[in-house]
Amino acid sequence: MVVDRHVASFAKVRAVLTVPIASLQYIVSWPVHFIDQVKNAMSTHQDLVEENLQLQAEQLLLKSQLQRLLMIESENSHLKALLRSSTQVKEKVLIAKLMAVDTEPFTRQVTLNKGSHAGVYVGQPVLEATGVLGQVIEVGPFTSRVMLITDIHSGISVSNSRNDMRFIATGEGYANRLRLLYVAQTADVKIGDIFVTSGLSKHYPEGYPVGKVISIIKGSSQPFATILLQPAAHLESSREVLLVWHKPHA
């Protein structure tokens, strides 16, 4: 240090000595820098993993909210259609909501959230926005049980909107179809004909859609034709329905 301070030429020697010293410092500090880089890399990777998980969670939440909004929009549209159809029924009506669906394979029945406290009665007709749903067969204080028109025990008087021919339509059970009973082979019934309530029954108002003809089978060995209808009502997807206080014609 004394020589470096008083001898100017020693500066060159000091400059030469800094090369191996710098190399030694690099070798000594390299493990520390390497560990720091590994820590930074691990920290960055963990941050990315956590951020990715957070984004995935937010994406799932947004998807579920979107599905909920779509379902609300669908219910809204259905309620609007139901309210529009209620104006076509001249009798008193009440909107009810489905609470449960019977799971037995040959039974087509549902439970509504309205009962005797709302004035619901046995035999009351139940309509959907696009057609006849069924009739009430059991009433409790706050709920009621409805037999759908596709139940095998259901029967409804219908007429062909094209020529006013009248028949009885009964349910096919699990097939979600209606069958016209005792239709002569020569009867004027065509694919696509729309059948509506005839109004002759005490349960249903006149002129409400019941179903459309989708199949006609005629055979010389059978006395009657086999005619199947597709129900007009959305029996499998309806959530809100109309309870109708129907006054049958005298």
**Considering the domain 92-245, what is its CATH architecture?**
Beta Barrel (2.40)
Distance of CA 13 to the CA centre of its chain: 87
* pLDDT, greater one: 131 or 43: 131
Distance CA 231, CA 176 (A): 8
Domain extent listing, the chain: 2-81, 92-245
CB 89 within 8 A of CB 242: yes
Mean pLDDT of 117-141: 92
Distance CA 155, CA 139 (A): 20
Distance CA 180, CA 227 (A): 6
pLDDT one-digit tens code per residue, 152-196: 999 999 999 999 999 999 998 867 899 999 999 999 999 999 999
pLDDT for residue 19 is more than 70: no
Q: pLDDT-based confidence at 76, cuts 50/70/90?
A: low
